[in-house]
Amino acid sequence: MKLKINLDLGINIDTYEDEINFEEVEKYVTEVLNREYSSDKEVYVSVLLTGNDEIQAVNRDFRGKDMPTDVISFAYHDNDEGDTGIFDTLGDIIISLERVDEQRKDYNHSFKREFYYVLTHGLLHLLGYDHMEEEEKKIMRAKEEEILTHYGYTRDI
**Residue bearing the bigger pLDDT, 53 or 10:** 53
Q: Which residues contact 31 (CB under 8 A, 6 or more apart)?
A: 151
Residue 90: predicted pLDDT: 92
Give yes or no for residue 116 having a pLDDT over 90.
yes
Q: Which of 18-22, 73-77, 78-82, 136-140 is predicted least confidently?
A: 78-82
Residue 8: predicted pLDDT: 79
Give yes or no for residue 84 having a pLDDT over 70.
no
Q: In the sheet that 71-75 helps form, which strands lie side by side, from edge to edge?
A: 3-9, 42-50, 87-96, 71-75
Sort 105 into a burial class: Cβ within 10 Å, 0-12 / 13-18 / 19+.
exposed
Q: Taking residues 121-138, what's their average pLDDT?
A: 95
Domain-wise residue ranges, the chain: 3-150
Q: Does the 3-150 domain belong in CATH 3.40.50.720? A: no
